[in-house]
């Protein structure tokens, strides 16, 4: 078994307290656990990359309404990309690269049922947590199966510089749509246009967002791919097109709020005969392999990239990295690269 540090520790990140406001380092504690050993039918997974996902802020709230809730004293739930280093399960061999839901720790135990085999000839291991993983799949089916934009139609993507938004923008361009990204700050907006091919990008922090959207989309907005909620969604709703569609994927602006609030500008849905729909990618789980086949081909052809922000550190750095994510410091999918990734 490979060592992640000189003394072969298994560091684990535990939720210390129910957070208020942004989730940060003070809300976690790091504990040292015994090195795990595979029992009958089990495998040990060594984490190489930790996923950083905004939805974690939702499940650490002081509320029993959410599935998979993490409470103080619990190991923080999380997906990792890594390698099987010990196996007593005939379906998995030492050396297999996998995505596993083993939590924020260097080594985790699995019975094999929650593992996903990673073919790193299709995409780098870290991308299986991002553009080639759930983030990319979410964007793929949102654009191609739920929205289905036609050439000449306008798609607005909020949270456009994030893990899902960066992929959705690329897919919408492939569909022939005019793509407008909403992001925070001029640097991100420029990056979306220059690097990812968005037609334009609007900085929601700079002035009147509604007026900027009217200017960017003179024929109104056919599709709003919503990852943020809150005021960003509200201002976009005011400019929805006739029979337009809002696809609700996430509401990151609300996850840290004490009281979650919905869109107040919903009146425009009625006026414009538009629709709003919830969306969860796992409804398409039986087609993930098909989507990945397409994505791997597009990547090989140079038509698709998997943007990621790599935070180099170790398990104890997870709290600071998550705070950076929620402070908007990433462009693309954010992951923590652990020392084991270099072994």
The answer as to whether 28 is a domain residue is yes
For residues 217 and 155, state if they share a domain.
yes
pLDDT value of residue 8 = 67
The answer as to whether 210 is a domain residue is yes
pLDDT value of residue 174 = 98
The answer as to whether 91 is a domain residue is yes
Provide the token pair at 225. Answer: 């791919």
* Overall average pLDDT of the 136-153 stretch: 98
pLDDT value of residue 3 = 40
pLDDT value of residue 204 = 95
Domain that holds residue 207: 134-282
What 8-state DSSP symbol labels residue 152?
T
pLDDT value of residue 5 = 40
CB 37 within 8 A of CB 16: no
* Phi and psi at residue 108, to the nearest 5°: -135, 160
Is residue 7 predicted with pLDDT exceeding 70? Answer: no
- Model pTM? 0.92
**Looking at residue 270, which CATH number applies to its domain?**
3.40.50.720
For residues 91 and 142, state if they share a domain.
no
Q: Could you give the number of structural domains in the chain?
A: 2
**Looking at residue 79, which CATH number applies to its domain?**
3.90.180.10
| Cβ density class 275-301: b for 16+ within 10 Å, e for less | ebeebebeebeeebeebbeebbeebee
The answer as to whether 232 is a domain residue is yes
pLDDT in tens, 257-290: 677 788 899 999 999 999 999 999 999 999 999 9
pLDDT in tens, 206-247: 989 999 999 999 999 999 999 999 999 999 999 999 999 999
Confidence of residue 4 (pLDDT cuts 50, 70, 90): very low
Is residue 342 predicted with pLDDT exceeding 80? Answer: yes
The answer as to whether 154 is a domain residue is yes
pLDDT in tens, 64-115: 655 567 788 889 989 999 999 999 999 999 999 999 999 999 999 999 999 9
* Phi and psi at residue 196, to the nearest 5°: -110, -5
């Amino acid at each position: 078994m490979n060592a992640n540090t000189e003394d072969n520790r298994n560091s684990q990140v535990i939720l210390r307290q129910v957070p208020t406001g942004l989730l940060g380092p003070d809300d976690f504690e790091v504990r040292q656990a015994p090195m795990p050993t595979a029992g009958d039918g089990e495998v040990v997974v060594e984490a190489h990359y930790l996923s950083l996902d905004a939805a974690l802020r939702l499940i650490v709230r002081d509320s029993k309404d959410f599935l998979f809730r993490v409470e103080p004293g619990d190991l923080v739930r999380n997906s990792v990309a890594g390698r099987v280093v010990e196996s007593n399960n005939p379906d998995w061999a030492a050396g297999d690269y996998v995505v596993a839901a083993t939590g924020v720790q260097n080594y985790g135990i699995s019975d094999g049922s929650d593992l996903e085999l990673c073919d790193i000839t299709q995409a780098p291991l870290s991308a299986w947590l991002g553009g080639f993983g759930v983030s990319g799949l979410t964007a793929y089916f949102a654009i191609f199966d739920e929205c289905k934009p036609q050439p000449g139609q306008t798609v607005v993507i909020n949270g456009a510089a994030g893990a899902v938004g960066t992929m959705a923008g690329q897919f919408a361009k492939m569909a022939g749509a005019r793509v407008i990204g909403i992001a925070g700050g001029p640097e991100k907006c420029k990056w979306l246009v220059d690097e990812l091919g968005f037609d334009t990008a609007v900085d929601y922090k700079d002035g009147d967002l509604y007026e900027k959207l009217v200017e960017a989309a003179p024929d109104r907005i056919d599709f709003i791919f919503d990852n943020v909620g809150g005021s960003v969604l509200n201002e976009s709703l005011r400019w929805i097109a006739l029979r337009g569609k809002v696809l609700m994927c996430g509401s990151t602006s609300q996850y840290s709020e004490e009281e979650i609030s919905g869109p107040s500008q919903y009146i425009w849905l009625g006026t414009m005969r538009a629709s709003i729909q919830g969306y969860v990618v796992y409804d398409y789980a039986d087609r993930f392999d098909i989507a990945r086949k397409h994505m791997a081909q597009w990547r090989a052809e140079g038509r698709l990239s998997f943007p990621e922000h790599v935070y180099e550190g170790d398990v104890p750095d997870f709290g600071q990295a998550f705070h950076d994510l929620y402070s908007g410091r990433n462009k693309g999918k954010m992951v923590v690269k652990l020392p084991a990734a270099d072994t």
